[in-house]
Structure 1
C-alpha cells in the first residue's frame, strides 16, 4: 500500500480502523482525510494498543509509521512492554537537586500547613549552593558546607530547618531510585548549631529613631513603601506575611479596622484588627502609591506567581542597609545601620519589639497577646472567645501615638 492507496482506503472504509501491515493500523479522523496511527501487540498474554507519539497521517508518513511500528514490535519480541516504557519516560526526568525539589514539592505542598516555608528555604538557601548538582553527586561535605554557611550568616533558627528539608529531599530521592544514599542523614541538630533558639532582639525607642531616620535618608536603598511597611509592622504587630498580602477590600476605614481573613491568618482564625487613627495618613499614602492595585503592597515587577511583593523584599532591603550581600551580581552597600551603632536585627524583630513596647505601656498580657494574634493555649484558648477589640484598640492607639513621633520627627 502506498500513500495514494492509503488515502483512498481511509476515505472509503466503513471500519473503525484500517489494517496497514501486521500490527500497524490507522484510525480515520471524522473528515476521513487522515488519521491516528496505532500499533497493536500482545505481551504477557495481554492484548494492547498504543497510538504513535510521532504524529498523525499525513504529518507522519506511511513509511515513517512503518519504521516506528517495526521498532515497537521489535521491543515486544524482547519482552519489553512499550506502553510501560512510555509511562516511565513521560515522568519528568530528575537529574539535579532542583529537579528533585520540584518533584517533591509538587506532592508535598498539598499536605503542608505552610507550603511557602520549604519553598523559601530551598530557593534562598539550598538552590544557590547545590541546586545545579546532580542528585547522585551530592555528598555529605556539600550538606556540611551549606549548613556552615547559614550558621556563619548569624541566623540561628534557619540551619536546622534547612537540614531537615535536605533530609526529606534525599529520602524522596531514594524512593525514586535517584540515589542510594542520603547525604544529609549523618547530620543532626548539633551539627546545625543545636536546637534553634528563639531570637530575643528588640529595638529600643532610641534605636527606632536612628533606624527610621536612616531609612528616610537612604530611601534609594530602603524605599518609601518598605519604610511604611516597617512602621505598620512595629505599630500593629501583625506578621510580615499577613501584611504584605493585605488587600484594600479587607479594610474598613470608616471604623478604622482591618478584617484579616482565616485563610491568611497564621492561627487559621479570622481576626478584626483595630487601626490607630494616627496611622491613617500612611494608609492614604499607600493607596496612592498602589496605583489602583487590589493590594497595599503590589508586586514591583511583572510576576505570574502573585500580585504582591515577595516574602524577601523587606528582608533583602534591610540586609542591604546593613551592608550584607543579597545579590551575587552587585557589590554590597556599606553597613550604614552598623556604623550608627545599631546591632543587626531582622524584620520579624519588629513584631517582638511591638510586643515589648506594649508591655512597657502597661498593656495586660492577655490583651497584648491578642494584639499579636497569638494562639491562646490551654483551657483559656478553648473557652475564652472574647476578642478584646476595644482593649486592643486602646493599646494599639497608645502604641502608635508613642511610635509615630519617633519615626517621623527626626
Structure 2
C-alpha cells in the first residue's frame, strides 16, 4: 500500500530498523531511535542491473509530497542515464541532459527553499509568541504556581492586574530591572507596599522558572532587593476603616451564599475567632437579652465567653435562623444539618473575591477591630474582654469584671461605625437585616 500522512505519523520505532514502501521505489526507513528517513531504490540499467539507493532526508522536514516530487525528478534523471546518487556526490552530468536536469533540479531547489524558509519563519514566530511574558506567565501559572501555592488566586490577580498589562508583550529575555522597578513603584504609589513586595516575589519565582526552561539567563526581579521595596512584616495586618468598607462591599456584592456573607460580617462585629462562630448553636443565642453565650469548651482558654450583640448582629442572627433549615447549628453544613460548615468554608469564600485591599486572613478581623477601637479611644479592658483575652499579672488576678454594659455600648458603636464604612462614598444593598435593626 502507498504511504499516507496518517500512516507516516503513526509509524512507531522498533528494536531494529524497518521499511515501509510507497510507489516507484520510494520508501521510508524507521530507525530504532524514531527517525524516519525517505530513501529511493532505482536501477540504472533496467531489470537485472545493480540496485542503487539515494537518501532525500527525514520526515516531517520533508513531506510526503516533497518526497514524491523528488522521486519523479530522480526517475527523469535515470531515464537520461544520470544516477541520482552520482548527482548527489557531485559527479559530472552529461552535456545532453545537463540543461534539462539543471532547470528541473533548480526549480525543485528554489521551491524547497521557499517552503523551508516559510517553515522556519513560522517556527520563529511561534517561538517568539511562546516566550513573551504573557505566554510564559500563563504556562508558569498552570504548571507550577496554581499547583504549589495555597492561594493561587492572589498570584492570578497579580499577573492580571499588574504584570501582564505592563510587560506582557515583551520577550521574557528582554525584561530588565527597570521594568520590575516600574511595576513595583506603580503599586507602591497606590499605597500598597506589601502588595508591591508580593508582586516582586511572584516575578522572582516566574523568572527562576524561565531560567530553568532556558528562556533567559537573568532574573531581573532577584536583582531588586526586597528591602528596597518594603519591609516584610509578620502577621500583623489590621485593615484601615476604608479597607473595612471596601471589603464588606465586595462581600455583599459577590455571589457567595447569603449565610457566608453574614458570617463574615459577624466575625467583624462580634470580634470572635472563626471556630467560635462557625460551630455556634442556636441555644447559645438569647434574642430577648441580645447576648451570645459561648461555652468554655469551644473557647481557646476553656472559659465561657459572653458577647453582647449589637442591633445589627441580632438582626443578622434572626435572618440566619430562617436560613439554617431547622438545624441546631447556626451555620449548618451543606451536606448535613447535623454538623457545621467546615473550617475552610469561609476562607474559600473570601478567596473567590476580587479584593482591592491588602492580603489578609480572617483572624485579622479581630486585630482590625481592636486597632480601630483603641484609635477611637475606647477602654483597653473592654476591648480585651471582647477578644476574650486574659489580663496578665496582678491586675488580671483582681480584675474579674465583665464590663457587659460598657461592651454593649462599645460594640453598638462599632457596628454603626462599620455600617458607615460600607456606605461611605457609594451605596450597596447589604440585605434585609438592615431594615430590621434600623427600625429598632
Larger radius of gyration: 2
TM-score by length of 2: 0.43
TM-score by length of 1: 0.46
